[in-house]
Amino acid sequence: MKRLPFLLCLLATTLASLNAADTVELPAKEKFHLYLLIGQSNMAGRGTVEAQDKVPHPRVLMQDKTGAWVPAVDPLHSDKTAAGVGLGKSFGIAMAENDPSVTIGLIPCAHGGSPIDAWQPGVFYPPTKGHPWDDMVKHTHLALEHGVLKGILWHQGESDSGKPETANAYEGKFHDLIQRVRTEFKAPDVPFVCGQMGIFSEKPWSADKKRVDKAHRDLPSKVPHTGFANAEGFHHRGDSVHFDSASYREFGKRYAAEMIRLQAAR
């Protein structure tokens, strides 16, 4: 019988943890600024999670896989078991600190390894057992019940830069995706920021990768209200593909700087 108080305490703690999402108090809709995170694994994040990545910011929330709003801590994504530190949390903190009057809501919808063709309505992507486009649409519309879409973040291209046919077709498909996303959420002028693929000396870029990179770099000159965040000086985690944790944290700040610039220009 001596174990009963302990078990009751354990049960209460567990229930409190399970209901944590219910205790998050959302601000007024116009003060809840939403940002959609889409792309493949470097958007989802593959960095090692450290103590600092588990410390939430009081005004940065994330939508979990059930659609509930919870404090944003890494990993934000659950696309694969490898999900770790990404650029989303540091981006959210930078945006929150830029405007102390608002709360930031992150909508994590990246799918590791997904080519741009996977981001079409109805397409099932086996590696993540999901539908990148359809899942993104569902989660974002749910989020829009509580806040206002203020920006879209994209990091993708590695899966399309491996052969000439996909690299050559990339820019047209990329521009089409931006238009489709904006149309879907009735946000024709919402700022859209893409990030550069990793530049690592251990793995020189092919002509096809340079072609996809050019599509990213040229975006601001070809599509209105778009920006480009460079990846210069970053390091990989040991695989010459994914950034390390420190690079992801800095990358989020670069995305935020571009987003703030675009928002100020509107």
Q: Please check the confidence at residue 198 and state whether its pLDDT lies above 80.
A: yes
Whether 60 is covered by a domain: the verdict is: yes
Encoding tokens for residue 156? 């993708």
d(CA 151, CA 127): 27
Residue 132 resides in a domain:
yes
- The verdict on residue 212 lying in a domain is yes
Task: Express each pLDDT in 221-264 by its tens digit.
Answer: 999 999 999 999 999 999 999 999 999 999 999 999 999 999 99
Q: What counts of helices (H) and strands (E) characterise the chain? A: 7, 7
Length of the chain as a residue count: 266
Mean pLDDT across 142-147: 98
* pLDDT of 221: 98
DSSP letter assigned to residue 241: S
Number of domains in the chain: 1
Give the lowest-confidence range in 7-16, 64-73, 164-173. 7-16
Cis peptide bond N-terminal to 75, omega within 30: yes
The answer on pLDDT for 179 being more than 50 is yes
Q: What is the DSSP string of 146-206?
A: TSEEEEEEEE--GGGSSSHHHHHHHHHHHHHHHHHHHHHTT-TT--EEEEPPP--TTSPPP
CATH number at residue 72: 3.40.50.1110
| Tokens linked to 106 | 């992150």
Residue type, 181: V
What is the Cα–Cα distance from 190 to 180, expressed in whole angstroms? 12
pLDDT at 9 over 80: no
Has residue 39 been placed in a domain? yes
Domain that includes residue 105, residue range: 28-265
